[in-house]
Amino acid sequence: MKTSADPVRDYLSAVERESSALPADRRQELLADLAEHIEVTRTERPDAAIGEVLAELGDPRTIAATALAEAENGAAGAPARGGAGAPARRGKVHPLVPLLMLTLSLPFTMIFSIGPDAAFDPGPVFGFLFRVTGAVLLCTSVHWTAVQKTTGVLLTVIVPTTVIVTWNLISGWAAGEVPALLGNLGSLALMVGTAVWLWRARRA
């Protein structure tokens, strides 16, 4: 591969050339998946050299050959499986799963909560586990861009959690039932709205 000021573009161009036998839509899907993986990897590992990131993906000819073999076998999975195992693993989780976990985290907290005076309050535990798992699945999914993932985590995890904790601290955990219910319903509406937006904005 010749040296260029833009090694990512050269890499994707090489994959496009090698996979010219693929249908146009399948080839574009392959390039989009590779570009997404490169973007995510560079975000997660900003100190990594671009050459190292591209080397981890694999040789363009190998990736193209794997994609062609999958197409011939009628495979419906992500085309980058041959050279980039990470995106393929991430794509196995249905996009509805993280959205449901993030949305249900607050109802689970409300339903199973006993109160701050209890020795063990399962409500916050269930809510925390659902929220963290949903956020992890969202951030490692191939169905959204990095910006969409960041916005989703901000609106479904950071903002609701900050509002609830701040309200409880200010009120000394002694807020009336009606104000507390209204606050929870407002947070839930924000989370549901964000989940709906993410669902509509997802990539197939």
Rounded CA gap, 49 and 65, in Å?
A: 26
Q: Determine if the pTM surpasses 0.75.
A: no
Give the C-alpha separation, 109 to 97, whole Å: 18
pLDDT class for 178, splitting at 50, 70, 90? low
What pLDDT, on a 0 to 100 scale, did the predictor assign at position 119?
A: 53
pLDDT band at 80 (very low <50, low <70, confident <90, very high): very low
Angle at 203 (CA atoms; ends 28, 58), nearest 5 degrees? 50
For tokens 């104000």, what's the residue? Answer: 179
Give CA–CA dist 194/153, Å, rounded. 9
Q: How far apart are CA 76 and CA 91, in angstroms?
A: 11
The pLDDT score that the predictor gives to residue 77 is 43
Pick 176 or 55 by higher pLDDT. 55
